[in-house]
A and B are shown apart, each in its own frame.
Chain A
Amino acid sequence: MSEPRHTLHIVSGKGGTGKTTVAGALAMALATGGRRVLLCEVEGRGGLAELFATTPLQGDEERRLLRTPAGGEVFGLSVDARDALTEYLASFYRLGLAGRALDRFGVYDFATSIAPGLRDVLLTGKVYEAVRRRTKGRPSSYDAVVLDAPPTGRIATFLNVHEAVSGLARVGPIHSQADSIMSVLRSSRTVVHLVTLLQDMPVTETLEALEELRPTGIAVGTIICNMVTPTPLTTETLAALEARPELHVPGLPPEQNEALAREFADELSALRDEQGCYERLRPAGLPLVELAHDPAGVDRAALHTLAGSLAEQLPEEVG
């Protein structure tokens, strides 16, 4: 097992594209060869626990979600802004009584909900801490951290912690914390993966997110097309087919044959739409990964299939 190419994988995507599933599959793929991987969520939705069919991740627990035959492990962490603030204050300032007073007067709630950008700094700060832990060689260190990040509409703001706290603190501890986080996010060890469906809106949002991320200096590594309709038809075959090909299934009554041809024409047009969306993503010049739609829904077995598919298509990333 080699050192992974990136130690921090940030997975974003439009809501409904399955970014949590892809983040889970990516963590699994990274762990397959025997690595220790931390999978973080930051939106308090309990999506990871749901994905791995386990009880909700609470507080600052980093619980093992999965162990691979080669000894690799995936741990789950649900980062909560309030806990992160408590931890941050406890480790940097010995506030003692004042800390409790802050809590009692609702300062924590206020700070983590409406202080501009503070919430995002706290959340990314906790992830940053987990990433850096390995360099200190502590026993709970990880080989890689996968972040199930906020959706594409918010990703640039979320990661651009510098910008976020500029209205809040120009100097001081929060500012230098933001500096350190930013330098890790911009380093060659960090990569963003954007998850999309091959549909109009998600593709548009993906392209917009690419534009918005560009000035932040944070690298986007791949675009992951999720729930792609599996088909034995190649692009060329599809292009050569007429819109509504005639079918002659032996033994099928004419009206059923006709209905099947109509249904197939709908399927073909859906495939062509997907193809069109794929073509819109090409000029971005990034590796495009395709994950097949699993009509049976997402469970552990499906996650393994997706992880295998990622490993196959991104050998230098997760191999």
Chain B
Amino acid sequence: MTTRTAASSEHLAWGRPAGSPFLDVDALLADRGKNIVICCGSGGVGKTSVSASVALRAAEQGRRVVVLTIDPARRLAQSLGVAELDNTPRPVRAVDTSAGGSLEAMMLDMKRTFDDVVTAHASPEKARQILSNPFYQALSTSFSGTQEYMAMEKLGQLSADLGLGRGGAERARWDLIVVDTPPSRSALDFLDAPEHLSSLLDGRLLRLLLNPGRGPVRMMSVGLSLVTSAMSKVLGGQVLSDVQTFVAAFETLFGGFRQRAEATLANLASPHTTFLVVATPEPEALREASFFVERLGDEGLPLAGVVVNRMSGSAVPLSPERAWAMAEDLPPETLEAVALRTHATRMHQVLRQRAAVRRFCTANTGMPLTTVPALPGDVTDLTDLRQVGDLLAARDE
């Protein structure tokens, strides 16, 4: 990141609209009954840096934290020590552990997580068949819901280590899991994708190919022969036998998939979990955040509040109009005139963003909110993450 001036903290003057409750991140992190924090939001709002900042802050306040990141920017990944995508939590160095906490970070390897599920639940012979099947390879690398599903799967595995309900939290390796959700256009994808994948894997075709004799036998076999002959006509016999091998080998896993997805969702609804919705102060991102808030309500999932990331601000108390007027009195090419016009443009943006956030608050009355000022440059190291954490937790009246 480029050298930053002290101006960043003065931007706080442009924080949360009056009347909306403050989302107290520190109180949330201090609550030992909260063990899972999930950061959701549409693509490009800075979920990864917000979740990493929350995790670092919690660790430096004494929690034993693991953060599951999905697709961090390279330099951020390097500073967290997860540049190698190896699907295992690694301790993050240079974390201040004086409060007794710790931080581990991992980056989700979707294919490997999927492979592990297969290896764990199928016999070695079947696992080999599945792993080398072209349909499985496509499913585990390019199916649109797989990343979300595997994030859930990994969360399930990590939270098993929390020892919840077994009184094990004291001795467990972690007492807080922070999850960054996969990049997607819609924040809702995280909740929808697992259902999409499990309904595909539980679909009629697969059941039919597995057990052609079951059900109203004749109807089904007529249907089946039509299906298989049409498929071999279009795709060729090889493809059909690949599908059948895939399905047969996958059989043992099917029931498990739906159960696991349901268990993870149930886990998310527990009082141990809380969601943070991340948005930027732009109309589209806030609209997406509104959809997500509504959806969490429908699903009975606990929402702590909304983080409005990258709020523009200014420490210069000059309205855009005044700045323009002052610039007009100066020769246009002077640095002073350029600076004033740049300030005017910035102030227009500040005002537009404030209006967008105010509208969001009106539409979501009572929703706790915190704002994070826009920082110059990318968030790339622990110092940056600490600063984001400070700004996140600051009372930004």
Q: Which residues of A contact B (CB under 8 A)?
A: 15-16, 45, 89, 93, 95, 97-99, 101-102, 104-107, 109-110, 113-117, 157, 167-174, 199-201, 204, 231-233, 241, 243-245, 247-252, 256, 259-267, 269-270, 272-273, 295-297
B342 on interface, CB distance cutoff 8 Å: yes
Interface contact A233-B338, CB-CB below 8 Å: yes
Determine the chain A residues whose CB is within 8 A of the CB of B43 once the complex forms. Answer: 15-16
B28 on interface, CB distance cutoff 8 Å: no
Contact status of A95 and B10, CB under 8 A, knowing A201-B74, A269-B3 = no
Interface contact A263-B316, CB-CB below 8 Å: yes
Determine the chain B residues whose CB is within 8 A of the CB of A204 once the complex forms. Answer: 74
Interface contact B5-A265, CB-CB below 8 Å: yes
B254 on interface, CB distance cutoff 8 Å: no
Whole-angstrom distance between the alpha carbons of A89 and B345 in the complex?
55
Determine the chain B residues whose CB is within 8 A of the CB of A256 once the complex forms. Answer: 316-318
Contact among B230, B243, B340, B376 with A101 in the assembled complex (CB-CB below 8 Å): B230
Interface contact A101-B223, CB-CB below 8 Å: yes
Chain B contact residue count (CB 8 A cutoff): 70
Whole-angstrom distance between the alpha carbons of A249 and B341 in the complex?
12
Whole-angstrom distance between the alpha carbons of A263 and B376 in the complex?
10
Query: How many whole Å from A88's CB to the nearest CB in chain B?
Result: 9
Interface contact B7-A262, CB-CB below 8 Å: yes
Report 7 cross-chain contacts, Cβ distance below 8 Å, ordered by A residue: A16-B43, A93-B233, A107-B230, A114-B135, A116-B135, A248-B336, A256-B316
Query: How many whole Å from A203's CB to the nearest CB in chain B?
Result: 11
Determine the chain B residues whose CB is within 8 A of the CB of A267 once the complex forms. Answer: 339, 342, 346
Determine the chain A residues whose CB is within 8 A of the CB of B183 once the complex forms. Answer: 15
Determine the chain B residues whose CB is within 8 A of the CB of A273 once the complex forms. Answer: 2, 377
Interface contact A260-B134, CB-CB below 8 Å: no
Q: Which residues between 220 and 238 of chain B lie within 8 Å of chain A, taking CB atoms?
A: 223-224, 226-227, 229-231, 233-236, 238
B245 on interface, CB distance cutoff 8 Å: no
Whole-angstrom distance between the alpha carbons of A87 and B365 in the complex?
48
In the complex formed, the residue of A with least CB distance to B209 is A105
Contact status of A201 and B318, CB under 8 A, knowing A263-B346, A269-B377 = no
Whole-angstrom distance between the alpha carbons of A295 and B200 in the complex?
43
Determine the chain B residues whose CB is within 8 A of the CB of A89 once the complex forms. Answer: 234
Query: How many whole Å from B25's CB to the nearest CB in chain A?
Result: 25
Determine the chain B residues whose CB is within 8 A of the CB of A262 once the complex forms. Answer: 5-7, 315
Interface centre among B234, B235, B342 (most CB of A within 10 A): B234
B349 on interface, CB distance cutoff 8 Å: yes
Contact among A105, A113, A157 with B143 in the assembled complex (CB-CB below 8 Å): A113
Interface contact A93-B342, CB-CB below 8 Å: no
In the complex formed, the residue of B with least CB distance to A276 is B2
Q: Which residues of B contact A (CB under 8 A)?
A: 2-7, 10, 43-44, 73-75, 134-135, 137-139, 142-144, 183, 185, 200, 203-206, 208, 223-224, 226-227, 229-231, 233-236, 238-239, 243, 282-283, 314-318, 326, 329-330, 332-333, 335-336, 338-343, 345-346, 348-349, 352, 376-378
Determine the chain A residues whose CB is within 8 A of the CB of B239 once the complex forms. Answer: 115, 168-169
Contact status of A110 and B376, CB under 8 A, knowing A115-B135, A116-B138, A261-B339 = no
Query: How many whole Å from B281's CB to the nearest CB in chain A?
Result: 12
Determine the chain B residues whose CB is within 8 A of the CB of A93 once the complex forms. Answer: 230, 233-234
Interface contact B138-A117, CB-CB below 8 Å: yes
Interface contact A109-B200, CB-CB below 8 Å: yes
Whole-angstrom distance between the alpha carbons of A251 and B230 in the complex?
82
Interface contact B316-A114, CB-CB below 8 Å: no
Q: A204-B74, A272-B2 are in contact. List 10 more A-B contacts (CB 8 A).
A: A45-B185, A116-B134, A172-B236, A199-B378, A247-B339, A249-B339, A252-B326, A263-B316, A263-B346, A264-B343
Determine the chain B residues whose CB is within 8 A of the CB of A231 once the complex forms. Answer: 338, 342
The 7 closest A-B pairs by CB, nearest first: A16-B44, A116-B138, A98-B230, A106-B205, A264-B339, A167-B134, A101-B226
Whole-angstrom distance between the alpha carbons of A116 and B133 in the complex?
10
Interface contact A269-B139, CB-CB below 8 Å: no
Query: How many whole Å from A118's CB to the nearest CB in chain B?
Result: 8
Interface contact A115-B138, CB-CB below 8 Å: yes
Determine the chain B residues whose CB is within 8 A of the CB of A171 once the complex forms. Answer: 236
Interface contact B223-A295, CB-CB below 8 Å: no
In the complex formed, the residue of B with least CB distance to A245 is B335
In the complex formed, the residue of A with least CB distance to B231 is A107
Determine the chain B residues whose CB is within 8 A of the CB of A244 once the complex forms. Answer: 5
Query: How many whole Å from A58's CB to the nearest CB in chain B?
Result: 19
Interface contact B143-A114, CB-CB below 8 Å: yes
Query: How many whole Å from A27's CB to the nearest CB in chain B?
Result: 20
Interface centre among B6, B315, B333 (most CB of A within 10 A): B315
Contact status of A107 and B343, CB under 8 A, knowing A93-B234, A114-B143 = no
Determine the chain B residues whose CB is within 8 A of the CB of A95 once the complex forms. Answer: 230, 233
Whole-angstrom distance between the alpha carbons of A312 and B274 in the complex?
51
Query: How many whole Å from A255's CB to the nearest CB in chain B?
Result: 10
Determine the chain A residues whose CB is within 8 A of the CB of B226 once the complex forms. Answer: 97-98, 101-102
Whole-angstrom distance between the alpha carbons of A256 and B282 in the complex?
28
Interface contact B315-A263, CB-CB below 8 Å: yes
Determine the chain A residues whose CB is within 8 A of the CB of B75 once the complex forms. Answer: 200
Whole-angstrom distance between the alpha carbons of A59 and B43 in the complex?
26
Determine the chain A residues whose CB is within 8 A of the CB of B73 once the complex forms. Answer: 200-201
Determine the chain B residues whose CB is within 8 A of the CB of A174 once the complex forms. Answer: 234-235
In the complex formed, the residue of A with least CB distance to B349 is A295
Interface contact B205-A107, CB-CB below 8 Å: yes
Whole-angstrom distance between the alpha carbons of A241 and B168 in the complex?
60
In the complex formed, the residue of A with least CB distance to B72 is A201
Interface contact B135-A297, CB-CB below 8 Å: no
Interface contact B345-A295, CB-CB below 8 Å: yes
